[in-house]
Structures are given as C-alpha cells and as structure tokens.
Amino acid sequence: MYNFTNYLSSHDRFGVPGTVEFQINELARKLKLPLEEILMAVQEVGLDRDEIREYIRDRRDRC
C-alpha cells in the first residue's frame, strides 16, 4: 500500500515536486552557491542556470 506521508515528505521539502528538488540540488552543486539562494532564484526566474546566476549576482550587488 502507498504511504501518503512518504509522498508528502518527498515532494514538500522545498515546496516543489521531487524532480524539481533534484534539479535545485544539482544547480546548487554546479553553481557552488547556497541552496537557499538557489531556491529563491528558482522561485523568481525558473530553472535556467544563467538566469539564476544573474539573479543572485544582482541581489548581492544591491546589498
């Protein structure tokens, strides 16, 4: 029988589906940036690596 609790925990860790979670973790590893920054950028600009890099650079420049 399928366990609904496991489904929720595997899909709601970052509030995104499991496959997107894998992509976010891969982006954080490849870009060598904190996962929290990657997650914020993904919510704003999507999963494009160049857009994420530019978004984070712009955020850091503003601070």
- The model's pLDDT over 10-60, given as tens digits with 9 standing for 90+, comes to 555 555 555 677 888 888 899 999 988 998 898 889 889 999 999 999 999
**How far apart (Å, rounded) are the C-alpha atoms in residues 55 and 2?**
39
Whether the per-residue pLDDT at 1 is higher than 50: the answer is no
Task: Kindly tell me if the per-residue pLDDT of 8 is higher than 50.
Answer: no
Q: Which residue has the higher pLDDT, 2 or 33?
A: 33
Q: Is the pTM of this model over 0.95?
A: no
Q: How far is CA 8 from the centre of its chain?
A: 17
